[in-house]
A and B are shown apart, each in its own frame.
Chain A
Amino acid sequence: MSLTTAYAPPRKLFSLPSLDTCGAWLLAIVWVSPLVFAVWAAFHTPEGALSFKLNAPLTLENFRVAWDAAPWPRYFLNTTLLVTVILIGQLTLCTLAGYAFARFRFPGRDAIFILVLLQLFILPEVLIVENYVMISRLGLFDTILGIGVPYMASAFGIFLLRQAFKSVPQELEEAARVEGCGWFGVLWRVYVPAARPTYLAYALVSVATHWNNFLWPLIVTNSTNTRPLTVGLSLFGATESGVNIGVISAATLMVIAPLFFGFILFQRQFIQAFLRAGIR
């Protein structure tokens, strides 16, 4: 592999890259290659894409065809709404529940907490059939709320916020109480600001998860007005199957672009958020 020479600095400031560097880079290149080939295919004609000639002419035709073939703006709007609704629901419910578990004493609390943790294992994904019945019963079939509501009481979120609230010093709470804050004032003025890194981490994870979620939205949506991007993309792939890899690649890139650039821009915060949230 010519990697060693390609990435060695020209002057003898550093020694040659170590075996570690080569291995790490080799794996990194293998890991990004599917994405790189999708970019390659998306910007070339089918013939150009499959010839693998570096000087093949570039084209935006694939993006134009892909964009015209499905109601993408509506899908983008649906996914944005979905992610927002879920996040608002999760932050509200998990904050209240996490606060109750962290700072209130009442009989049955620990038993209930075990029940909540059990939801980490009884996943909405596994209960698709009965949850579908439940959503239909509640009249939420084919609505954004219907896609989002089973995820709102997130056990993971409750657990994370309980941990964060527990690490807040009691003196802060007492000080706020002396100032005349009720339980809500204490929560809002003391606990929520103190748990900001946890909120950030949880929000990033939640948005990424639900932007990408597929199986449950596939089941509870039935129209363009609710279908999120992932479901739209899968339908798109189905109708175009075997036709043009360039168009599919272009559509795929459009779908992943917002989250991808978000990640590149906030990469440091994202990874830091994970580290700070104390997820172990």
Chain B
Amino acid sequence: MALYGWMLLAPALILLITFAFIPAFETIWASLYSKGTLRRPSHFVGVENYLSLFSDPAFRKVVTNNLIYAGITIPVSIAIALGMALWANAQIIGRGFVRAAYFTPTMLPMIAAANLWLFFYTPDLGVIDRITALFGFPSVNWLGQQETALYSVIAVTIWKEAGFYMIFYLAALQTISPELREAATVEGAGRWTYTRRVVLPLLAPTTMFVLVNALINSVKLIDHLFILTKGGPDNASKLILYWVWEMAFAYFDTPQAATMTTLILVVLGIVAAVQFAVLERRVHYR
């Protein structure tokens, strides 16, 4: 029995070890070594890479950017997703179209989404500038100036992700028994009270799930940067993973990339630990 169990697990385990665990350990290992050159081969430097990373203003900029990116995209896309789900679940005219419209961006590659948004952000000729011009606002180089580049990228992420999270809320909403609503109505609860006191608490586990997903996405979702801003201007919209990519594959500075990746792994590890702890507690209460 045990032997069969291991045999069944073996293929998946081998791949997991090869493409998740070994690379993770190698990353940590590489972050402790210097960059090798022809004249000076790579040698052990301890935490030196970390110290030089922390003193790098670009590092601080990129981390700040990513915190702003996460801090805005996560709550806003979750709030929009919740609103979408409530609407897509309500008795409204043309519900099928509305649902499909909300969900469509999720089906597009991020690269394609970024191309679509280029047409919106183009200065003067783009859709946004055309509309603001009607109200007499001057043209804005949305992607090309420091003040707006990051927020323009954030808008695309929210547009892309909200519909995906909506699906999970929609699934949860459909499991709520209609009797609860009747009971609430009998008790004299209005719609707002019903939503706030009954629906939202029942959606709490879904929110937890969506939150973890959104958090992970705020680290890994960087495809649109390649099209929209390439992290610019002057690092204004650069996110951590894009920085890692650039370090490793444009500047060939593997130790710096490994150091940053290790920090990402630590953060994701903490998220994982918190989630497992929460899950564990819920299981115990049950």
Contact = CB atoms under 8 A, between A and B. Distances in A.
Interface stretch (B33-41, B48-56, B57-65, B260-268): B260-268
Which of B111, B159, B222, B272 is most buried by chain A, counting CB atoms within 10 A of its CB? Answer: B111
B177 interface: no
Interface in A72-112: 92-94, 96-97, 99-101, 104-107, 109, 112
Contacts of A17: 92-93
Contact of B16 (A18, A20, A38, A115): A115
Nearest to B220: A125
B182 interface: no
B109 A230 contact: yes
B180 interface: no
A252 interface: yes
Interface in B70-88: 80, 83-84, 87-88
Interface string B201-219: 0000110010000001001
Contact of A37 (B14, B127, B244, B258): B127
B23 A230 contact: no
Nearest to A135: B19
B157 interface: no
Contacts of A23: 87
B119 A126 contact: no
Interface in A253-280: 255-256, 259-260, 263-264, 267, 271, 274-275, 279-280
B205 A280 contact: yes
A134 B18 contact: yes
B108 A130 contact: no
Contacts of A25: 92, 94, 98
Interface string A41-52: 100000000101
A217 to B, nearest CB: 10
Contacts of A105: 1-2, 5
Contact of B241 (A94, A126, A267): A126
Nearest to A231: B111
A133 interface: yes
Given A20-B92, A126-B264, A256-B108, A279 B122 contact: no
Contacts of B171: 274-275, 279-280
Contacts of A203: none
Contacts of A144: none
Interface in B124-157: 125, 127, 130
Contacts of A52: 130
Given A24-B98, A100-B9, A126 B219 contact: yes
Interface residues of B, number: 94
Given A17-B93, A23-B87, A149-B19, A127 B98 contact: no
A156 to B, nearest CB: 11
Contact of A31 (B24, B27, B117, B163): B163
A122 interface: yes
B261 A126 contact: yes
Classify the secondary structure of A's interface with B: helix
A130 B254 CA distance: 9
B159 A34 contact: yes
Interface stretch (A55-63, A171-179, A192-200, A206-214): A206-214
B92 A18 contact: yes
A263 B102 CA distance: 13
A160 interface: no
Contact of A234 (B30, B122, B226): B226
B101 A28 contact: yes
Contacts of A219: 245, 249
A274 B159 contact: no
Interface in A122-139: 122-134
B115 interface: yes
Interface string A170-188: 0000000000000100000
Interface of A: 7, 14, 17-18, 20-21, 23-25, 27-29, 31-35, 37-38, 41, 50, 52, 92-94, 96-97, 99-101, 104-107, 109, 112, 114-134, 149-150, 152-153, 155, 158, 183, 208, 211-215, 218-219, 229-230, 233-234, 237, 245, 248-249, 251-252, 255-256, 259-260, 263-264, 267, 271, 274-275, 279-280
User: Nearest 10 CB-CB pairs, A to B?
Assistant: A104-B5, A130-B23, A106-B2, A212-B109, A28-B101, A153-B15, A100-B8, A24-B87, A150-B19, A97-B12
Given A123-B268, A132-B248, A255-B109, 14 more contacts: A17-B93, A28-B97, A35-B108, A107-B2, A116-B12, A124-B20, A129-B258, A130-B22, A153-B15, A212-B110, A214-B226, A219-B245, A259-B108, A271-B170
24 contacts: A21-B94, A29-B101, A31-B105, A31-B163, A32-B101, A34-B119, A37-B120, A50-B125, A93-B15, A97-B11, A105-B5, A107-B2, A114-B276, A117-B272, A129-B27, A153-B14, A183-B4, A211-B109, A233-B112, A237-B227, A249-B115, A256-B108, A260-B107, A271-B99
